[in-house]
Amino acid sequence: MNLDDIDRLWQRRAAWHLLRVPSAPLVLSFLGRHLSGLARGAEFVPIDLPLRGPAAADLGDHFDAARDWADFI
């Protein structure tokens, strides 16, 4: 792999964009810790991320309002 290949990856691949953000050291330390463990044969443990967002009923209301607005135009 030459420098031009690396430069192309740097510009076009989403994973390389992670390395350009200010939080790159955090991303690299997380990936290094967890991926190196998997490479050594550690068991894969899914990470449970609690997500907060609007309730399904709220989304339906917003969708209906948007559809009404689009029909009005």
Specify if 6 maps to a domain: yes
Domain that holds residue 25: 1-41
Contact predicate 28/19, CB 8 Å: yes
Specify if 5 maps to a domain: yes
User: Over 80: is that where the pLDDT of 67 sits?
Assistant: yes
Number of structural domains the chain divides into: 1
Q: Structure pTM? A: 0.34
Specify if 32 maps to a domain: yes
d(CA 12, CA 48): 30
Residue 1's pLDDT is what? Answer: 67
Amino acid at 66: A
Specify if 57 maps to a domain: no
User: Over 70: is that where the pLDDT of 41 sits?
Assistant: yes
Specify if 46 maps to a domain: no
Mean pLDDT of 21-31: 78
Mean pLDDT of 40-51: 79
d(CA 44, CA 73): 51
